[in-house]
Amino acid sequence: MPRILDGAAIAAAIKQEVAAEASALAAKGIKPGLAAVLVGNVAASEIYVRSKVQSCADLGLYSDLITPPESITTEEMLALVAQLNARDEIDGILIQLPLPAHVDTKALLDAVSPAKDVDGFHPVNAGRLQAGRPALAPCTPAGIIEILKRSGIPISGQHAVVVGRSDIVGKPAAMLLLHENATVTICHSKTRDLGAITREADILVAAIGRAGFITAEMVKPGAAIIDVGINRITKRAEFDRFFAGDAKREAAFAKRGSTLVGDVDPKAFAVAGAYTPVPGGVGPLTIAMLMSNTVRAAKMRRGL
C-alpha cells in the first residue's frame, strides 16, 4: 500500500516551530509582522487571506490586513507598497493574487523590497535561490521540500522530475531539489514523450495545472508523487473519470456539486510508494511556509 504524505500534520509541526521562534524573538522585543494586501472582493481570496491573518494571530505574529478597492490604480498600489517597504514593524509583504486586470502585477511584485518578499517572487530572491545563497524561497516549493524531508523520503542522488515550469512553483521547486542533490528534469506541455521521462522519476512533482494530467502509466512503481494541483471538478463525466466507485467522494459531490482533484489521476497513486493527497497534501504547507518566511525575514532584516 502506498504511504499517504500528510501535509496537514507536517504543516502543524512547522507552525509549532514558528510559534516557538516568534516567542524567542518576542523575548528580545521583536514581533515579526506581515502585511497582507487584498484588492477588491474576491470570495476565495478573502477566505484565503483571512486564514493567513488568523495564522499570524495564532502563532504570535503581527499582521496588518489592507483592503484597497478594486478601482485602485497601479500608481496607487505602488505608493502603498512603498509605504509598507518603509514600515519597520512590517517584515513581510504579501500581495494576494490575482489582481484586477488593469493593475500591473509584475511592476507591483518587483516593487516589494526583496528583504520583505515573503512570497519569494522578486527577481532578486529568484537569483539568490538559483545561486544557492540565503533567500526567501516561494512557499509552495519550500513546502514540497519539507514534506519530502520530514517524511523521510530521500532526495540526494534521486531522479526528480518536475512537470510544470512556472516561476511560482515549477522552476523554484526544481532549483530547491537540485540544491538537495537530486538529479532534476523539468518537463512541460511541449515535452515530447512525457510519459517516458516521468516513468524514470523517483520523485515526481506534478505542477502543470491540468486535472488528472499524470496517469498511472506515467508513474514509476514505488515513486514518491508530490501533487501540487488543485482543480475543481463540477461535471459528472469528469467526476466519473476520476472517482467512479468512491462512495465518500460521491456523497460530497452530490452535496456540494463539486470536488477537488490534483494534477495526478487518483488511480496513479496505487502505483506510487508515497503520495500527497488533494486536498490535505501540499496545500496546508503554503500557509505554514509563509509564516516561516515571515519569521525568517524578521531575523534576516535584523542580522540574527
Q: How many CB atoms lie within 10 A of CB 166?
A: 16
Q: What is the dihedral of CA 162, 164, 170, 175, to 10 degrees?
A: 40
What are 267-297's pLDDT values in tens digits?
A: 999 999 999 999 999 999 999 999 999 999 9
Spatial separation of the C-alpha atoms in residues 252 and 261, rounded to whole Å: 13
The pLDDT of residue 46: 86
Taking a C-beta distance cutoff of 8 angstroms, is the pair 231, 261 a contact? yes
CA distances from 82 to 37, 69, 85, 91 (A): 13, 18, 5, 13
* Predicted pLDDT at 44: 79
Distance CA 228, CA 107 (A): 27
| Residue numbers of the chain with a pLDDT score lower than 70 | none
Cell of 248: 465518500
The pLDDT value recorded for residue 73 is 96
pTM: 0.94
* Catalytic center residues: 52, 96, 119
Q: Cβ-count burial of 241 within 10 angstroms (0-12 exposed, 13-18 middle, 19+ buried)?
A: middle
Residue 248 CB neighbour total at 10 angstroms: 8
Where do the domains of the chain lie, and which CATH numbers do they carry? 28-116 (3.40.50.10860), 139-285 (3.40.50.720)
Residue 130 C-beta-side C-alpha neighbours within 13 Å: 9
Written as one letter, the residue type at 303 is G
For residues 231 and 148, give the distance between their C-alpha atoms in angstroms, rounded to a whole number: 23
